[in-house]
């Protein structure tokens, strides 16, 4: 009987050891299940990636390329010298040259009239003429701007083709 009792005690000890290990394994399984549940919840909150057909992907990529080209052109136009600025500077130079020519003509006219002294009546008449000259000068400046813009359009058109 002692022998049977020893074998029984031995197996009870082994069984208790196995029960402890089994409890640890079950605790680990519960822990892993909770972690997988949390991970699954996170994944369900994340929107699944949409699988596009070839045509949809091609359309999306084409639109993206167009948007990038537009953005690139905007950045390029902002970082370089604008043609409008060039036209305006050219018009301003022409305006100044024309204004200097008019002033020079008036000073020559004034030096011819009575030794460079103009009378008030002549100035009043010149006031009306000055308005006409201003209108003519404005028309000249606008004509120069339009001509320069047409030249730039033609040169841009030629560069594209």
pLDDT in tens, 56-105: 888 989 999 999 899 888 877 766 666 667 777 788 888 888 888 888 88
Q: With bands split at pLDDT 50, 70 and 90, how would you rate the model's confidence at 34?
A: very high
Q: Are residues 71 and 87 in the same domain?
A: no
Q: Are residues 140 and 107 in the same domain?
A: yes
Domain that holds residue 75: 49-80
86 and 71 together in one domain: no
Same-domain pairing of 34 and 86: no
Closest by CA to 12, choosing from 37, 4, 50, is: 4
Number of domains in the chain: 3
Structure tokens at 12: 């009870």
What is the rounded end-to-end Cα distance, in angstroms, of the chain? Answer: 110
One domain for residues 96 and 150: yes
Q: Is 95 left (phi over 0), alpha (psi -120 to 50) or beta?
A: alpha
The distance between the two most distant Cα atoms of the chain, rounded to a whole number of Å, is: 156
86 and 161 co-located in one domain? yes
pTM of the predicted structure, to 2 decimals: 0.27
Return the DSSP state at 46. S
pLDDT tens-place string over residues 116-153: 444 444 444 555 566 677 777 777 777 777 777 777 66
Contact between residue 137 and residue 98 where contact means Cβ atoms under 8 Å apart: yes
Do both 137 and 85 map to the same domain?
yes
């Amino acid at each position: 009987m002692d022998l049977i009792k020893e074998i029984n005690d031995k197996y009870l000890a082994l069984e208790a050891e196995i029960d402890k290990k089994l409890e640890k394994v079950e605790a680990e399984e519960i822990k892993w299940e909770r972690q997988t549940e949390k991970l699954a919840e996170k994944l369900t909150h994340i929107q699944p990636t949409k699988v596009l057909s070839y045509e949809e992907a091609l359309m999306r990529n084409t639109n993206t390329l167009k948007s990038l080209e537009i953005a690139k052109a905007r950045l390029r136009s902002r970082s370089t010298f604008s043609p409008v600025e060039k036209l305006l500077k050219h018009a301003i130079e022409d305006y100044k040259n024309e204004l200097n020519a008019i002033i020079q003509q008036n000073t020559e006219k004034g030096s011819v009239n009575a030794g460079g002294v103009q009378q008030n009546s002549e100035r009043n008449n010149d006031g009306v003429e000055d308005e006409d000259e201003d209108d003519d000068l404005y028309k000249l400046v606008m004509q120069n701007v339009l001509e320069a813009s047409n030249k730039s359009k033609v040169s841009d058109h030629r560069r594209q083709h």
